[in-house]
Amino acid sequence: MDLGGHRLHVLCTGSGSPTVVVENGLGDFSFDWALVQEPVSKFARICTYDRAGYAWSDPGPLPRSFAQLNLELRDALSKLGEKGPYVLVGHSFGGPVMRQFALSYPRDTAAVVFVDSASENQQVHIPGGFIWLYDGAKGLPVPTPRETMSPDHRAPTKSPGGPPGELDEALRRLPPREQQWQLWAQSLGAIEEAEASQREWSTEYFARWHSRPQDGTLGSTPLIVLFRAEGGYADDDEGRAHEKARYEAQAALARLSTRGKSRTVPSGHQMHLEAPDQVVKAIREAWEMAGRS
């Protein structure tokens, strides 16, 4: 879909209202949802897509703020003739992206499903210890999103950025064709600039959300929060403290809506690959809840 300066790759299958729309994690692609998209398409319309700079999508305008990502997705869906409100599904980094979509476009939001979503109450492990996802925020105002490229932004090429790595165990659950696409998409150089900008601007959102209470900000929107059963932390005092904090962070996400609920899934972080049936079940539940709203 041409957004007036750059193209976004979107794949919609199935039929049935409301339409389900999926937002990927960092380094993930539309076809990573093959094990979920096919069964969901049997009862609903479902759209997956590649953010600007990923796979078949052209690089998009900078900076890559949540507002920018939301505008591009909403415009692409509108130009494709996909009617809202939507059931928003966000995995990992895609969780807060869809959270901001719901906050910015409440009339386009029928329900939300977070799949092991990132949040402002989450710490991540780096060499030497843990950091909060809002660490590094500078208090910058988020620029107005736009579809056109600024004159000083030269889009990176889509040429290979380096040899692709080996697929991890979760990705090897994909069909052979999608595994080959994964290796190809990982090798493209344009994704690096997009991800650097996304990470930088995500801290600004996390810092804002951390600084003020967020309970109930999604009103009564149906919300299901899925999170993995184990965090993989060491079985010591520090590890148990981080595991407790992870559970509390996911519980806080469920409180964003008065109709929010959370549940653990026996899976790792790549839940849409490791436990796709559980993700499909949650999407269907949210879809049915949206239909009754």
Structure tokens at 96: 């807060």
With a cut of 60, say whether residue 72 has pLDDT above it. Answer: yes
114-170: pLDDT as tens digits: 999 999 999 887 787 788 999 999 999 999 999 888 776 666 666 555 555 689 999
Neighbours of 262 (CB within 10 A): 17
pLDDT band at 241 (very low <50, low <70, confident <90, very high): confident
Q: What is the DSSP string of 26-51?
A: TT--GGGGHHHHHHHTTTS-EEEEE-
pTM for this structure? 0.94
**In the predicted model, what is the mean pLDDT of residues 56-76?**
97
* Average pLDDT of span 253-269: 96
Q: What is the mean pLDDT of residues 78-90?
A: 97
Q: What was the pLDDT predicted at 249?
A: 93
- Window from 88-102, 172-186, 229-243 with minimum mean pLDDT: 229-243
Give me the pLDDT at residue 150, please.
75
Above pLDDT 90, what percent of the chain?
80
Residue 149: per-residue pLDDT: 80
Q: What proportion of the chain, given as a percentage, has pLDDT over 70?
A: 92
Q: What is the arithmetic mean of pLDDT over 67-73?
A: 98
Q: What band does 291 get if pLDDT is binned at 50, 70 and 90?
A: confident
Average pLDDT, integer, range 175-200: 94
Tell me, what's the pLDDT at 78?
A: 97
**Contact 32/181 with Cβ under 8 angstroms?**
no
Q: Residue type at 109?
A: T
Residue of 117, 190, 135 lying closest to 159 (CA atoms): 190
At 148 the pLDDT is 85
- Name the pLDDT band for 262 (thresholds 50, 70, 90): very high
Q: Give the chain's domains with CATH numbers.
A: 9-292 (3.40.50.1820)
Please say if the pLDDT value at position 172 is more than 80: yes
What is the reported pLDDT for 5? 83
- Mean of pLDDT values over 34-59: 97
Q: For the chain, how big is the Rg over CA atoms in Å?
A: 18
Confidence of residue 277 (pLDDT cuts 50, 70, 90): very high
Residue with tokens 């796709």: 276
Residue 198 has pLDDT above 70, yes or no: yes
Segment 74-79 shows an average pLDDT of: 97
Residue that wins the pLDDT comparison between 11 and 239: 11
